[in-house]
Structure 1
Amino acid sequence: MRTEMLSHALTRRRFTQLSGMAAGALAIPEAIRAATTPDVSLVIAPYTLEASPKHHIKTLAYNGQIPGPLFRMREGRQQAVEIRNLSDQPEVVHWHGLFLPPAIDGAMEEGTPMIAAGASTRYTMTPSPAGFRWYHTHTFAGKNLTRAQFGGLHGFLLVEPRDNPAPYDREVFLALHDWRGQFLGGDDGYMSPVYDVTTINGKMLGFGDPIKVKQGERVMMHILNSSPTETHWISLSGHSFKVIALDGNEVREPQTVTMLRLAPAERVSAIVEMNHPGVWILGEVRKHIQATGMGIVVEYANSTGKAVWTQPEELIWSYRMFAKADETVPGAAAKTLELVFDSRFQGHGNEELWRINGLPYPQNSTPEHSPLLRAGERYRLVLKNKSMDDHPMHLHRHTFEIRRLEDGAAIAGLRKDVVLVQAGKTVEVEFVADNPGDTLFHCHQQDHMDRGFMMVFKYA
């Protein structure tokens, strides 16, 4: 019975993907299409990534590069978008962190039409809110660890703020990614991907161009974890990060730290004072992962020699560092929605089924099971993780505020669109239902999402 339920969940997601793809080219009438030039143009096509001379990875990419091009947009200024799909599978582009209508947000579960192989689509969107966002595929991978977020379809998006949150001299954009995974089962029977190549901006340590800096510069580093499944810890030898924004939203309490933790889909924006001349490594703190390639050289002008790595002594990171304590939210009390996460093992040789409140997607998103939101009301999501895995939970089309962490103390002022809920822990977040339409809530681990770890919130 459980195996049948998992198969049904996967089949329903695949069916939804295929059934909507024919409408992808009809988002803008042909007359308007012919009369306008797109502000944003994306071409999805096969690409071979050279992570190093010995590591060539066949994948898909946007505009023939990994990561995809950086798009800079002005908040509130309408953008014409054109997407061409030259791959052999239906595709869709999710604009992660933006407040968009479901029809163009980029999730088939919300009703965004898929773009059929060989087809194209055009539409207009108005980017909001300001901050460091990103765009990526939102398709089904299953057991194919070259598809969906396991591949190269991810890119940077910066919605320009009206005022800079802090003074800096220039910006650097970095994407962390894991490649060439294979499913391995543990003693408990659960399957999880393990990777043998990791990159920053598509290159393994020692094979990409270094980040060239000058002494005295203040460099804003926008770092994205585009990994399909893995949390990463990042450090820059000889330097510290002043964190000013998480997931593109300014933090209440900027902090200077020696390490950053990024769960899948999280972003960190931090200023680095270039005050220690030399040749250094920015990379994964855990040695066995850095050994697979996750690092990049930072080189000062007029400095030479071998890049230096200094191993941090301990991993220290908490959302609490960037929030205020014990503040109240103005206005009416939030309505509480309890969401319990667990998995059901299907037997050896089968994949586990991920569930929210005892049901996988799409069973948990029927009218009798899906949360019903009312526009303008505030909701508190009580996220109870009863599984043995950590889960980066993402809410589409909204921003939430983290209100309570694992230790039980209330916090306020930290706004995000992804929150890592650790194994066996509970996290509480609040948001205002201010963007009507079907809204997807899911774990951002690709394999978990494919196995049912999603739910669609409906608006009344």
Structure 2
Amino acid sequence: MPVRRPHPDRREVLGQLLGASGAAALGLAIPPVSGRAAEARADHILRIAPVSHEIAPGKVIRTTAYNGAVPGPVLRLKEGEPVRINVVNDSGYPNLVHWHGLHLPPEQDSASEEGSPIIAPGGSLVYAFTPKPSGTRWYHSHAMAMEDLTRSTYSGEFGFLIVEPAAGDPGRYDREVLLASHTWEGHWVSMQDLQKGPPPDNGLEAMYRSATLGDRMLGHGEPVRVREGERVLFRILNANASMGISLALPGHRFQVVALDGNPVPVQAAVEVLKLDAAERADVIIEMNNPGVWVLGSTKDDERGMGMGMGVVVEYANRRGEPQWVQPQRDDWRYAAFARAGAAAAPDETIALRFEKIPGGRGGYNRWTINGKSWPDTDPLFTVQRGKRYRLVMDNHSGDEHPVHIHRHTFEVTKVGDQPMSGLMKDTISLPRFSKAEIDLVADDPGATFFHCHHQDHMDQGFAGLIRYV
């Protein structure tokens, strides 16, 4: 069945045409600079290129990645200190690198919908910006993938970006561990052909055969080695293209200190950690239960040897088979980390309804916001600088949606019927048939991309532009 593409060739055509002269003609703030001059002027270099990544003995994933590694190199930047990053695109297709969670001008943000330049195959581009705010951010491809499950966020093109606070970090932990979740070997499935799943009028969905939490499948990489009495900060990232994760570490609890890089008002301890695509959590784990444990998915089929989403946590002087114990309860909820009670009243309220147009057997689902799909959602709505807007979001579909707003941080003000305040995020998970409200302060003028972070949802219309007037 033919796939309806939302402006399908626009990125490819621009990516091939935009060189230095093209960017200058469009008045873009970031002129592409290539070759030795760019490398000499850059603080960091990221090269996007094909790699063969072994996730288990004999299981090699052929993908694209940054600097030959999955995840890519950890970029540690200082809040308020300018940085230049040279990105060389040897991926073989038009590409962009999005600096997820940073407050940047549209030209630097790397979303072509906002006017950011695309890097043509074989080309390069120097991004120059001043990183803010501090916290656990990340970088990833923002190219279209459509039906190609080897491109963009389906690939190995992701990495941690840590913005260290300008005033320094008091460091109430002994050391840190960075873990990113990713799924591999994607294939399209007509859900109605399975014995269980969504209704038969659904369309194609991406399914995966393997997963990693870190660089390898469970049991095939180096364990996380700890000592009794340590306080370890885990920075955990869901870098999956279209799947949420639910994690546990038997005999331990996650003390959540930040979500999406932003300190939480209430540092609650939970047994289960849930992150939708693109969400991050900074959690401190008190290492007070010696043994050899599995930190992994709470779902047996995801943690099992077939898929392998997990990592071994091994205490010093302990040996033996890694142990798994199913958590007693699922205690994850946004309200646990927020202040109780209503947030400040907004200047304006905007209703957003998310719906699916099923693709049927062999077809791709289509997504709408208030009855329209991208590019008809430009603008999705308009804002005035300095005003506070409450977005009342209604997920009227049987799919979860991690909703992301570029270049801004928003406040979660209600989930279901429960009001709250103080919880700041850049991505919020809306489970199937659910409602939530977030407050957006229009404090970063310029075109602002709004979309579901599931790659297939975004590619098939779940996106819009917020325009400043």
Q: Which TM-score applies when normalising by structure 1?
A: 0.94
CA shift for structure 1 position 37: 3.0
Q: Does 1:412 align with 2:416?
A: no
**Equivalent position of 2:339 in the other structure:** 324
- The answer on 1:363 being equivalent to 2:358 is no
Task: Supply the AA of the counterpart residue of 1:326.
Answer: G
Instruction: Tell whether 2:173 aligns with 1:178.
Output: no
CA-CA distance at 1:315 after TM superposition: 2.3
Correspondence for 1:436:
445
* 2:174 aligned partner: 169
> C-alpha displacement at 1:67, in angstroms?
0.4
Partner of 2:195: none
CA distance in 2, matches of 1:182, 1:78: 41
Partner residue of 1:191 out of 194, 197, 204: 204
Q: 1:380 aligns with which of 377, 390, 396?
A: 390
- Relative to 1, partners in 2 of residues 1:314 and 1:24: Cα closer, same or farther, differing over 3 Å? farther
Provide the C-alpha distance between the structure 1 equivalents of 2:283 and 2:19, rounded to a whole number of angstroms: 38
* 1:34–1:326 Cα change, 3 Å: closer
Q: Which residue is equivalent to 1:7? A: 4
Where in structure 1 are there 5+ consecutive unaligned residues?
A: none
SS of structure 2 residue aligned to 1:172: strand
Matched, 1:312 2:327: yes
Whole-Å Cα distance in 2 between the matches of residues 30 and 235 of structure 1? 45
1:224-277 C-alpha deviation (Å, 9 max, x unpaired): 000111111111122111100000000011011111000000001000111112
Is the Cα contact below 8 Å between 2:204 and 2:359 reproduced in 1? no
Identity %: 42
Cα deviation per residue 1:207-232 (whole Å; 9 max; x = unaligned)? 11111111111100000000111111
> Which amino acid is 1:176 matched to?
S
- In structure 2, distance between residues paired with 1:429 and 1:341: 15
Partners of 1:165 and 1:250 within 8 A in 2: no
Distance, in Å, in 2 between the alignment partners of 1:99 and 1:17 is 26
Alpha-carbon distance between aligned partners in 1 of 2:430 and 2:107, rounded to the nearest angstrom: 29
SS at match of 1:364: coil
Map of 2:431 onto structure 1: 422
Superposed displacement of residue 86, structure 1:
1.0
Alpha-carbon shift at residue 336 of structure 1 (Å): 0.9
Deviation at 1:328, TM superposition (A): 3.6
For the residues of structure 2 that align with 1:190 and 1:401, how far apart are their CA atoms? Answer: 33
Structure 1 Cα separation of the partners of residues 171 and 406 of structure 2: 27
1:30 offset after TM fit, Å? 5.8
Give the alignment partner of residue 457 of structure 1, picking from 449, 466, 469. Answer: 466
Moved more, 449-458 or 308-317: 308-317
Once the two structures are TM-superposed, the CA of residue 186 in structure 1 deviates from its matched residue by: 2.2
Q: Does 2:71 align with 1:67?
A: yes
- Quote the Cα distance in structure 2 between the aligned partners of 1:227 and 1:29: 29
2:254 corresponds to 1:215: no
- In 1, are the aligned partners of 2:203 and 2:360 still within 8 Å (CA)? no
SS in 2 for 1:398: coil
Change (3 A) 1:170 1:374: same
Q: Distance in 2 between matches of 1:199 and 1:14?
A: 32
Question: How far apart are 1:28 and its partner, in Å?
Answer: 4.1
Aligned length: 449
Query: How far apart, CA to CA, are the structure 1 residues paired with 2:269 and 2:39?
Result: 50
Equivalent AA in structure 1 for residue 14 of structure 2: S
Residue ranges of structure 2 left out of the alignment (5+ in a row): 24-29, 193-199
Q: CA deviation at 1:38?
A: 1.2
CA contact (8 A) 1:24 1:120 kept: no
